[in-house]
Amino acid sequence: MPEIRRLAIFGSTGSIGTQSLQVIEAMGGYSISVLSAHSNWRFLAEQALKWCPVRVTLADSSGYTALKEALAGTNIEVVSGDEAAAQAAREIDYDIAINGLVGLSGLRPSYEVILRGIDLALANKESLVLGGDLLSGLQAKTGSKILPVDSEHSAIFQCLLGERIEDVRRLILTASGGPFRTWDHAQISNVTPVQALKHPNWQMGAKVTIDSATLMNKGLEVIEAHHLFGLPSSQIDVRIHQVSIVHSLVQFRDGSFKAQLGKPDMRLPIQVALTYPGRMVMPFLEDDDPSDWPPLQFAPVDLGKFPCLRLAYEALEIGGTAPAMLNGADEVAVSRFLNHEIGFLDIARIVEYAMNACAATPADSLEAVIAADAAGRSIATRFIPG
């Protein structure tokens, strides 16, 4: 009988977490050690009663009492607070972890998982955007594998299996282009939050949806790809591919291309990460005939229309804590846009101002990258675009 693998899921009530639970329920062979959420205690309690983890954690302590009462009579530990997820990552026994947390909150759990030499299925971009240098160095010491769950990075990961990284000419991340890919500058300058939240291809949280509209999300993925695959920014490109069938491409030095294709479904990259180095039948597999696909067209990105992507490349070139400052400033700028405090194009202006106002330092500790993220947030909070 195959061994049951113990799984920790950080961000279990979000999109990645809920789809991860769907995948393991369909596949079998897993037990749950940790379920972790930010504030949705009701859904977390429902998950916990079904999966019976060793511990559940809730970042928002205001829901602690209600969660504790909902799980009364079980043997499930309940811990709350900002450090609860990282504490569980450090203390509870598990064989593999999935990090689907959003934003800076995912960094410390990723650090703790890698520190223990445990494999990490990673969907939290910020872990590598802020702490890529730090986590890569730690990973080399402990032997932990980072298995990408983002569809673009999973596609590259799959294309590189059996290949040598020195044979790669470039990586090409695909981007839908968001809702404004055909709009001119004048139209984009008057974009409202309601319009920006209407992504043409994906249903996502507000922050990542706005980042997709500005292409900052793709910029963060460029930084993430650098740390995952060890290639410089000059070998990482982005192309607009609005139908989201080709998830990423790799071109090799002989000129040939490999691509991973298929209808968008995040359950596939989740399953690829959980079953690596093998593959299993996809429980949710549907008939998918390429003759039914729309034309596979690609276009370059207009950096004048999408300056956030340019800023992400610049942060990667600067290195050190520059990506952390970029991330912190973007978090605040997006929040201010959603609150109708600034315009859509002001997001990039605020991020650029914050990057220019703060000198980058080596990203050699958690404290350094967290401080840089905080500095970016502080500047972005105060700056009033002209």
Least-confidence region, from 58-62, 198-202, 306-310, 380-384: 198-202
Q: What domains appear along the chain, each with residue ranges and CATH number?
A: 5-148 (3.40.50.720), 157-263+301-382 (1.10.1740.10)
Token pair in block for residue 196: 């920006």
Three-state secondary structure call for residue 35: strand
Tell me, what amino acid is at 15? S
What pLDDT, on a 0 to 100 scale, did the predictor assign at position 178?
Answer: 82
Cα 145 from Cα 249, distance rounded (Å) = 22
- Model confidence, pTM: 0.94
Percent of the chain with pLDDT over 90: 85
Cα 99 from Cα 95, distance rounded (Å) = 13
Tell me, what amino acid is at 298? F
What pLDDT, on a 0 to 100 scale, did the predictor assign at position 188?
Answer: 86
Whether the pLDDT of residue 1 is over 50: the answer is no
With bands split at pLDDT 50, 70 and 90, how would you rate the model's confidence at 183? confident
Whether the pLDDT of residue 201 is over 70: the answer is no
What pLDDT, on a 0 to 100 scale, did the predictor assign at position 234?
Answer: 97
Cβ atoms of residues 156 and 225 within 8 Å = yes
Cα 61 from Cα 72, distance rounded (Å) = 17
Comparing 202 with 188, which gets the higher pLDDT? 188
Mean per-residue pLDDT over the chain, rounded? 94
Token pair in block for residue 194: 């309601």
What pLDDT, on a 0 to 100 scale, did the predictor assign at position 193?
Answer: 92
Q: Which residues contact 32 (CB under 8 A, 6 or more apart)?
A: 6, 7, 8, 9, 51, 52, 53
Least-confidence region, from 153-157, 207-211, 214-218: 207-211
What pLDDT, on a 0 to 100 scale, did the predictor assign at position 134?
Answer: 94
Please confirm whether the linkage preceding 277 is cis (ω < 30° from 0).
Answer: yes
Distance of CA 12 to the CA centre of its chain: 14
What pLDDT, on a 0 to 100 scale, did the predictor assign at position 203?
Answer: 67
Give the DSSP letter string of 120-189: EEE--HHHHHHHHHHHHHHHHHH---EEE-SHHHHHHHHHHTTS-GGGEEEEEEEE--GGGTT--HHHHT
Give the DSSP letter string of 311-358: HHHHHHHH-TTHHHHHHHHHHHHHHHHHTTSS-TTHHHHHHHHHHHHS
| Mean pLDDT, residues 260-287 taken together | 89
